[in-house]
Structure 1
Amino acid sequence: MTKNKFRLIYDQLATEIQKGMIQPGELLPSENELADTYQASRETIRKALKLLSEHGYIQKVQGKGSIVLDISKIDFPISGLVSFKELADKMGKRAKTTVVTFSRDRVNDFLRKHLQAVDGEEVWSVARVREIDGEKIILDKDFLRVDLVPALTKKDCEESIYAHIEEELGLVVSFAKKEITVEEPTEEDMEQLDLEGYSNVVVVKSHVYLDDAKLFQYTESRHRPDKFRFVDFARRAK
């Protein structure tokens, strides 16, 4: 099937932004100029620009035009509980998730500590690689208590664990305690990620709770260090 013309224009502009042919902070040509360049209607150009905006490539500013954003780094909120799926939805086809391990296991000493579990309890063990713009840059390792999340599937993990928990189980993911460290890559990191010679990874460790204060998940999100900004809003208390 032939692509719609606006998608072809979107692909061309997105590729130029990814390759640095159009730099962050630059203005794209006007709608009229783009229409002339691509021999397309202004409506087609608007659709392409809308897609670029939705996928995080540009910001449309009234009176100025379309400003190219810095896509080399992705903002991750520190204080918020945002799933990768929610971030990926803004990036469209730029983002891809691959489930590399999915199993149901007995707790070990490590998980007894991090999930406050007891001997004999079972956990879901999930490892997912997050790929953005063709590069594998996040390894998410999730451990969830089976007694609280009893029917997880690999498909749920490919799409969104939190969507399964909130929409299908009717539970409320409420808050998390987070710790951010910089560590040397493990063999697993080096195997699963495109580290390109980086000697450290940024690790976000999260203990995640339901609204009844039950700890149901421990996560290690292991990031290649050049691709992320960890952002928060802080107010000074007096």
Structure 2
Amino acid sequence: MAQSAKKIPKYKMIENYIMQNIKSGHYSKGEPIETEQELSSKYSVSRVTVRQATNNLVARGYLSRSQGSGTYVAEKKVVSRATTVKSFTEEMKAMGKKASSKVLDFKVVAANREVSQKLNLEIDSPVYHIVRLREADGEPMMIETSYMSVMAYPDLTYERLSRSKYSYIEEERKLIIDHSHHIVVPIMPTEEMIGYFGCDQASPLLKVFNTTFLTDGSILDYTELVINTEKYQYQSIRQK
């Protein structure tokens, strides 16, 4: 047993220790865990190793950080389980929460090479550049940056974006959303993200690169989502 234990990386041992304390109730929700210095001394490792362990648990939703205060056992989060393509508004309604959107930016720009490839448009085609802060019961959940073709959706307005974009597509335009393709990566927050979410600068966030398709095969939009992992846990369930 001792020989196999030596093969476990120190950061993983710290993760396991913290998880055992959470599951046993030794750490209560909302309460701080030991400091990095205490865990560093306990396991004879650097604070970088401790931070690796706690970063992993923050990303998985078990811990949260308060800037300048410490690391805490995370409170219950809003959890999204994406089995079908749903709007943020629909997801929050199903959870008994009220979704809202603050439009931070809405303008027409010329599509660069990356955006034109994502939307299957010619370079320099006019596209909407949309940035929204998505909230649930007034809590900031994600920052959404989207690109959509102006030619395909000439009647898109600020007012429609302040509500549900998917409702505009499905109820007003009578189009059917078929599926979306997404890639999820961890990122470190920028000053702007910290300003909106109030998160710790050392706490990782999740970024989702998402392309949504209609039933006719055309592309509805290309969106980049930055998720406030201290409040919103994104999950995807794959069905065979």
1:153 maps to which residue?
Answer: 157
Gaps of 5+ in 1: 1-22, 25-69
Aligned to 1:181: 185
1:150-179 deviation per Cα after TM superposition (whole angstroms, max 9, x unaligned): 210111111111111111111111111111
3-state DSSP of counterpart to 1:225 = coil
Partner Cα separation in structure 2 for residue 195 and residue 156 of structure 1: 29
Please state how far the C-alpha of 1:219 moved relative to its aligned partner: 0.7
Please give the alpha-carbon distance, in whole angstroms, between the structure 1 residues aligned to 2:235 and 2:195. 28
TM-aligned CA distance change 1:96 to 1:175, over 3 Å = same
User: How high is the sequence identity, in percent, across the aligned residues?
Assistant: 25
Distance 1:172 1:128 in 2: 23
1:78 to 77, 82, 88: 82
- Larger displacement relative to structure 2 (127-136 or 178-187): 127-136
Q: Give the letter aligned to residue 138 of structure 1.
A: M
Structure-2 separation of matches of 1:72 and 1:199: 17
Q: Quick one: distance in 1 between partners of 2:117 and 2:183?
A: 15
User: After the TM superposition, which residues 51-200 of structure 1 pair with which residues of structure 2 at under 5 Å, given as runs?
Assistant: 72-90=76-94, 95-200=99-204
Equivalence for 2:36: none
> Which amino acid in structure 1 is aligned with residue 192 of structure 2?
E
Q: CA RMSD in A?
A: 2.6
Q: Secondary structure at the match of 1:125?
A: strand
Distance 2:181 2:172 in 1: 24
Deviation at 1:196, TM superposition (A): 3.8
Tell me if 1:206 matches 2:198. no
Query: 1:170-223: per-residue Cα shift (whole Å, max 9, x none)?
Result: 111111111111112234323433224453211111111111111120011111
Tell me if structure 2 keeps the 8 A contact 1:136–1:194.
no
Q: Is the 8 A contact 1:102 1:126 kept in 2?
A: yes
Q: 5+ unaligned residues in a row in structure 2: which ranges?
A: 1-27, 30-73
Count of aligned residue pairs for this structure pair: 169
Partner of residue 10, structure 1: none
Answer yes or no: is the 8 Å Cα contact 1:135–1:194 preserved in 2: no
